[in-house]
Chain A
Amino acid sequence: MSNVLLDVQNIKKYFPVRGGFLKTVQGHVRAVDGVSLQVNEGETLGIVGESGCGKSTLGRSILRLIEPTDGKIIFEGNDIRKYSHAQMRAMRKKMQIVFQDPYASLNPRYSIMQTLTEPMYVHGLYNGKERAERVRALMQKVGLDPSYASRFPHEFSGGQRQRIGIARALVLNPKLMILDEPVAALDVSVQSQVINLLEDVQKDFNLTYLFVAYDLSVVKHISNRVLVMYLGKMAELATSDELFFNPLHPYSKALLSAVPVPNPEVRKERVILQGDIPSPANPPSGCVFHTRCPIAKEQCKKEVPEWREIQTGHFVACHYPGEGV
């Protein structure tokens, strides 16, 4: 378990904001602002936060689909940010992504067979017959009838397309898979099927997941550890159980209290945050959360809280962790 597969160190992604007559850089949107995390082989790390907190950008930066501004991405002991374009291409078969929108993630002019054989073709793996054989096996694995292989994406439902997307990510036997809100665009009934499928293939292929989502109940179900992000920064990181039963950061508490409980008898204390998420182009001073924090004190406006380990494996960035809300 303790074999670190991915070690992200202080990764940053700033998008320049240009304006004015000469399109000069007026400032930066700090989409991801100094995130460090280690992912162990075979585990699932969930990343949660409200929309705009930089969790998708983080996922794509790790794959260098968006070039990070700063930081290190150490995968299997090598900093992949130092890789050349050619090295990166060869390396890509080890890390794959499943996209949120199954309607946009498949080339409309490729049949399923073409979509699924292309990765093997690109890397020169297997011969023609083996490729077709593997595609059929993989389609079976993700719950699709292999006789549909010559069909095109528009002939499938959203859930089926997401299965195809998962199959495409699996073709190359990757080690790390970034799941960028893979079920957010699906019906609830289909969501659970896809989640189960993801759990099955994780076991079968010994995959490591980085699960980006905003649906906390899904994250709790699938993750070993969970990272809470707010405004491009890390707020709290703990094992799934620890975070859900003993959240220390007031933002985590607010998030958790928003999870609906399917039991009308249970009366829950809701922590309702005031106001909107501040602009990442102009983040608040001190602790970025202080503008909406119910327990914010004078210190929070001035000092940036340190990222510290409160208990073994439970990290939080807050001056007053665990204080009553």
Chain B
Amino acid sequence: MASDVAKMKGEITKAHKAVRGRSPLQLAMGRFMRNPLAVAGSIILLIIIFITVFAPLFTHWSPTNPDIMNTDAGPSALHWLGTDSNGYDNMARVLYGGRVDLTIAFAASIMVMVLGTIYGGISGFLGGWVDNLLMRFVDIMLNFPFISLVLVLEAIFNTSNEWMLILVVGLTAWPGAARMIRGVFLQLREQDYVIGAVTIGASRMRIIFRHILPNTLSLLTVLVSMSVAGYVGLDAGLSFLGLGVPPSVASWGAMLNTYSDYISLSTKPYAWIPPVVMIVLTILSINFIGDGLRDAFDPQSRS
């Protein structure tokens, strides 16, 4: 597949340099770059990713090695945001914590999209009774109790970590995506240019991967960005219920859980405001990126 793309592209560049066309993707990128909110969102998200990935550059404290001589301390020159009751440095936990939250959000979204695209694509492309059967299973899965599954798995394994959460989200959230992708496949399957690909004798694989899938790309990108935003808050929500990653793991959600009692909320704002700000900023910036992508791919949809 990749080689024939390269071949075709090679033919084009060799043959014609005279009048360059601009592909729909290039046009969309141009529109995205002209959208100030989307660009601001991208920059903020990149900064957040940068400081979480390169957290050791910003603090010499480890998020998992407690300073046991200094538990429950307020902000000081040593611990800028204080320490929690175990002696973990809050600054380090805010910086490192993003790794867990962002990993969960991105990995879960990608898993959901991959599963949803495969399932929905098969369903929509084949249609007929296969489609009917697959979609009834989606209806069942849509009603699957997500929180109960988390509870049961935590009970069985007697622990929880970010990969378990990713797996649970991936295995329960794909039906929504599958349904949307199926709709697009059903619609594109009847498009003249897809029928045109049939008439030139293209194989089914070629029709799916070269004619249908690339044209669902815009929808997929928007769906991924929107669901990433949703899953950033997921760890926070689950941690609040005591179902997230264990408190020993540094994550924004776990920090919120640590300080979720009434007294901490009123007396230690220096400890819980930073993770809240990080969560809000991340969700907001991803949402702006998602809106920007939607407008860029489909200029008519702009209200």
Contact = CB atoms under 8 A, between A and B. Distances in A.
Interface of A: 60, 63, 65, 89-93, 95-97, 99, 101, 104-109, 111-114, 117-119, 121-123, 128-129, 131-132, 135-136, 145-152, 154-155, 165, 168-169, 171-172
Nearest to B22: A152
B15 A97 contact: no
A4 to B, nearest CB: 22
B19 interface: yes
B199 interface: yes
A138 B27 CA distance: 28
A172 B199 CA distance: 11
Contacts of A132: 11-12, 14-15
Contacts of A121: 4, 7-8
Contacts of A107: 193, 196-197, 211, 215
A195 B211 CA distance: 29
Contacts of B203: 89, 122
B145 interface: no
B22 A105 contact: no
A122 B211 CA distance: 13
Is the interface on chain B under 10, 10 to 19, 20 to 34, or 35 or more residues? 20 to 34
Given A113-B12, A114-B8, A151 B201 contact: no
Given A149-B15, A150-B16, A150-B20, A172 B200 contact: yes
B198 A65 contact: yes
B261 interface: no
B195 interface: yes
Nearest to A169: B199
Given A108-B24, A147-B18, A151-B21, 17 more contacts: A91-B201, A92-B200, A95-B199, A97-B196, A106-B193, A109-B25, A112-B21, A113-B8, A119-B200, A122-B203, A128-B11, A145-B19, A147-B16, A151-B20, A152-B23, A168-B200, A169-B199
5 contacts: A65-B198, A107-B196, A108-B193, A113-B16, A132-B14
B195 A65 contact: yes
A93 B200 contact: yes
Q: Of residues A93, A101, A150, A171, which shows the largest number of chain B Cβ atoms within 10 Å of its Cβ?
A: A150
A113 B15 contact: yes
Contacts of B25: 109
B15 A136 contact: yes
Interface in B1-54: 4, 7-8, 10-12, 14-16, 18-25, 27
Contacts of A136: 15
A154 B215 CA distance: 14
A109 B214 contact: yes
Contacts of A118: 8, 197, 200, 202
A146 B12 CA distance: 11
Contacts of B195: 60, 65, 97, 99
A114 B19 contact: no
Contacts of A105: 192-193, 196
Given A107-B211, A107-B215, A168 B201 contact: no
B11 A122 contact: no
Contacts of B15: 113, 132, 135-136, 149
Nearest to A114: B8
A111 B10 CA distance: 13
B109 to A, nearest CB: 23
Decide if the interface of chain A is mainly helix, strand, loop or mixed.
helix
A104 B23 CA distance: 16
B191 interface: yes
A129 B8 CA distance: 10
Contacts of B197: 107, 118
Given A89-B203, A113-B8, A99 B196 contact: yes
A154 B24 contact: yes
Given A65-B195, A92-B201, A105-B192, A151 B11 contact: no
Contacts of A91: 201
Nearest to B191: A104
Contacts of A99: 192, 195-196
State the 5 A-B residue pairs at the shortest beta-carbon distance, nearest first.
A151-B21, A147-B18, A105-B192, A92-B201, A119-B200
Nearest to B13: A150
Nearest to A96: B199
Contacts of B27: 154
Contacts of B11: 113, 117, 128-129, 131-132
B199 A122 contact: no
A89 B196 contact: no
A228 B192 CA distance: 25
B198 A146 contact: no
Contacts of B211: 107
A298 B214 CA distance: 59
